[in-house]
Structure 1
Amino acid sequence: MTTPAEPARQTVWSRPARGQRGPAPTHSRDEIVTAAIALADADGIGAVSMRAVATALDTGAGSLYRYLSSRDDLLDLMADRVAEELRPYPESDGDWLAAMLRIARGQLDLHRKHPWLVEVLPRPTAFGPQSLAWFDHCLGVLRPVPAGTAAKFEAIAMMIGVVSLFARSEAAGPPPGFDGIDMTAFPNLIAAMTAPPGPAEPRDLFEVTITSVLRGLLTEPA
């Protein structure tokens, strides 16, 4: 929360694409973002610094500050750029829940393509035009749902959180085992792990979670 003595951060979208002073630009903001995304895709978001991006563009780090005021600006631009890859958006075709599930799957695929997104999106982010267009489309899909605006915003936010959770879990891989731990102190865990398996039914946990969250937040209880 900001105070009068601490003005809100000016977003990258409210500033010109480059400073008005200095020599003619040798690179565009678009080229800078493209280089940064390539670095993040290859080596993770930790590899993205103003210096590293400048090196990839064969220029000095100081020159990038004619286009961006900080690394936060760069991260905002990167997140919004890859959000464009969510197009074309799934349409509802009369079934809003199925459409939202397809939208969520598209998000998960985007995370798989750009694993660094799980580190970028939780930070305070200045939403750009592509991100806002995606959010606007979600609200359009939910227009027939007789829930309040606040509930719809909450449902979309929760969907984003579930997608991020699944993406993070996939990136982390299977958890380590219990080698070297005396399990006798955990009887409930032992019972669960040694219980006979239930009926083998195919179950899409992602679908179950997304649809359960959206139904729970947007539909009236029976």
Structure 2
Amino acid sequence: MTDDRTTGPEAPELIWLRPERTGRGPRPAHSRDSIAAAAVAIADAEGLDAASMRRVAAALGAGTMSLYNYVPKKEQLLDLMLDAVVGEYDLPAEPSGDPRDDLHLLLRQQLAALRRHTWVPRLVIGRPSLGPNGLRYTEYFLACLAGTDLSGAAKMEAMALLNGFLCQYAEWEHTTAAGGRWQADLVVYLQRVVVSGEYPQLAQAMAGGPAAEPPAPDAVFDRTLHRLISAVLTPEGPAPRV
């Protein structure tokens, strides 16, 4: 669905409501796909902040101002970038019918994308978007839950919960991989806290933790994801009393 108001104060803020081209004049030299691909490549190499309109225009061999004819605002460029990444998912024609397996495979694929594009979690949390590829993903996610007893609202909440976990996990994984002195200091600090005797519950929970060999990231992800999927597939009960 598009909106014919392409310019002026009443033009839609959401780029998906703007037609990519009006049908008048010569064929555009660039497309939203090519613009998004250039921006994603810059963000992958140098970080999200580096993907400015100027840098993207230079990568395309275009003038910065001419790029605004395609993407009027930087925020809309971010929407295009996010949807381009979601477009990398290789979704099956239809789910297998086993919600646990289907969700696990889908979220595994998402994690692979977040590992390739480490800037995506920050963007998803700050500016979630739902472009054409995002809608395709949403439709497939809901199809994975079609045979469950969950309500429509519960299915959407499950998607938000699992996506939030994915972003948080990918951020943790990226930060941990970066390491640094702070991480070593944190281990030392926690070891001191544990032996102080002031936090017995923490000590019990962390028994064999900081000093032991850290678990493989994939094992942590699979174990935690299994728990979350089990939780979201649990039939809805009464709301807790406040």
Normalising by the residue count of structure 1, what TM-score does the alignment of the two structures yield?
Answer: 0.82
Cα shift readout 1:35-67 (whole Å, capped 9, x = no counterpart): 111101111111111011111122221111100
Cα 1:13–1:192 change in 2 (3 A) is same
Q: Tell me what 1:220 maps to.
A: 235
Unaligned residue ranges in structure 1 (runs of 5+): 1-5
Aligned residue runs from structure 1 range 76-95, under 5 A: 76-89=79-92, 92-95=95-98
Distance in 2 between the 1:192 and 1:152 partners? 36
Q: Tell me what 1:113 maps to.
A: 116
Q: Which amino acid aligns with 1:219?
A: T
Q: Tell me what 2:219 maps to.
A: 204
Cα shift readout 1:49-89 (whole Å, capped 9, x = no counterpart): 10111111222211111001101111111111111111233
Distance in 2 between the 1:24 and 1:8 partners? 22
Does structure 2 retain, via aligned residues, the 8 Å contact 1:44–1:116? yes
Q: Tell me what 1:3 maps to.
A: none
Does structure 2 retain, via aligned residues, the 8 Å contact 1:90–1:99? no
Cα shift readout 1:113-163 (whole Å, capped 9, x = no counterpart): 111111211123331111111111111110111111111111111110111
Does structure 2 retain, via aligned residues, the 8 Å contact 1:80–1:129? yes
Q: Tell me what 1:153 maps to.
A: 156
Distance in 2 between the 1:132 and 1:50 partners? 26
Unaligned residue ranges in structure 2 (runs of 5+): 1-8, 238-242
Q: Tell me what 2:199 maps to.
A: 188
1:39 equivalent to 2:42? Answer yes
Cα shift readout 1:159-195 (whole Å, capped 9, x = no counterpart): 1011111110111124612378693667438945984
Q: Percent of counterpart pairs with the same letter? A: 33
Cα 1:168–1:196 change in 2 (3 A) is closer
Higher mean C-alpha deviation, range 55-64 or range 89-98: 89-98
Aligned residue runs from structure 1 range 136-147, under 5 A: 136-147=139-150
Q: Tell me what 2:184 maps to.
A: 177
Does structure 2 retain, via aligned residues, the 8 Å contact 1:41–1:115? yes
Q: Which amino acid aligns with 2:156?
A: F
Distance in 1 between the 2:116 and 2:206 partners? 37
TM-superposed deviation, 1:14: 1.2
How many pairs were matched up? 215
Cα 1:19–1:45 change in 2 (3 A) is farther
Distance in 2 between the 1:218 and 1:8 partners? 41
Cα RMSD of the aligned pairs, angstroms, is 3.4
Does structure 2 retain, via aligned residues, the 8 Å contact 1:151–1:218? no
Q: Which amino acid aligns with 1:177?
A: A
